[in-house]
Amino acid sequence: MARSALLNVMVQAALKAGKSLSRDFGEVQNLQVSVKGPSDFVSQADLKAEKLVRDELLKARPTYGFLGEESEEIKGTDGAHRWIVDPLDGTTNFLHGIPQFAVSIALERNGEIVAGVIFNPATDELYTSEKGGGAFLNDRRIRVAARKVLSDSVVGCGIPHLGRGSHGKFLVELRHVMGEVAGVRRMGAAALDLAYVAAGRLDGFWEAGLSPWDMAAGLLMIREAGGFVSDMHGGTEMFDTGTVVAGNEYIRKELIEVIARPVPKN
C-alpha cells in the first residue's frame, strides 16, 4: 500500500514506541508504577512511550497540536491539526503480562479524523488508515464483517470497574445484549477492539466512558473498512459523550436498539 508522508511519520512513531514497550513488556514486575486512580495504573513504560511518540510527531510537524493521555495538551500554532495519542492503550493488561495492548495515534484536521495508526507490538500487528484510502492490517486491506443479524455475531464491549463508569447501567445493557448474540468479548483495550471490528474479527462493539485518545484512530479505521460508528444515541458526538457503538450498518443499528431497551420489570 502507498502511504502518505504524514502516515509514514505516524507509523514510525508507533513502531518506535512499540519497540520501547516490547522491551518493558515481560519485565512488568520491575517497573516503577504510580497510582493515578482506582485500578488505573500508569507506568514508566507508558510515560516513556508517550514522550517517544510526542517527540517524533512534533519533530516532523512542530506546528501541530498534541492531545495525549499522560500529559498536558499542547495547542498547535497552525490551528487546524492535532495529534490524538494513547501511548499505551490497555495499561492494565500490560502490567499484568497480558499481550493485548497498543499504541494508538490519530491525526485530526479541522475537527475531523483523517489518519489513524494502531500498533500492538506483542503481536506485531499494525493497523493503518487514511480518509478515503481504506484500512489495512500489515499492508493487507481489511473490511468489516458481513453478518447481518446479532444472533450470528460476536460483539466486544468495555466493562466498568472499580472507580469507573456506571456498573448498574452496564449490567442492564449486557443483560439485553447477551441474550441476542453468539458471544460477548471484553479484551481490555478499546483501540484494539475497534481495530478488530475494522478487521472483521468482532462484528460489533459498544462502550461508554471513553476518552478521545481511546477511540480516535479506531473510528476512522472502521469507517475506512466499510463500517459505521456512532455514539450510543446513534449520533456523531462520540468524543463529547464518551460513548461508541460500531459495526456494519446492520449490526450497529441492532446494537443501539438492544442497548437502549428499558430495564425489564420482573
Phi, psi of 134 (to 5 degrees): 85, 180
Q: Is the pTM of this model over 0.85?
A: yes
Q: What is the mean pLDDT of residues 30-52?
A: 65
| Residue 124 annotated as binding site | no
Task: Encode pLDDT of 121-137 as tens digits.
Answer: 999 999 999 999 999 99
* Predicted pLDDT at 28: 65
Q: What percent of the chain has pLDDT over 90?
A: 80
Q: Which amino acid is at 20?
A: S
Please report which confidence band the pLDDT of residue 32 belongs to, taking 50, 70 and 90 as the band edges: very low
Q: Which amino acid is at 110?
A: N
* Predicted pLDDT at 24: 84
| Residue 193 annotated as binding site | no
CA distance 140 to 248: 19
| Residue 40 annotated as binding site | no
What's the CATH superfamily of 5-141? Fructose-1,6-Bisphosphatase, subunit A, domain 1 (3.30.540.10)
Domain 150-260 CATH (choose: 3.40.50.300, 3.40.50.10860, 3.40.640.10, 3.40.190.80): 3.40.190.80
Residue range(s) in the chain whose domain bears CATH number 3.40.190.80? 150-260
Mean of the per-residue pLDDT values of the chain? 92
Residue range(s) in the chain whose domain bears CATH number 3.30.540.10? 5-141
Quickly tell me which residue has 461508554 as its cell.
208
| Residue 46 annotated as binding site | no
| Residue 86 annotated as binding site | yes
* Predicted pLDDT at 23: 87
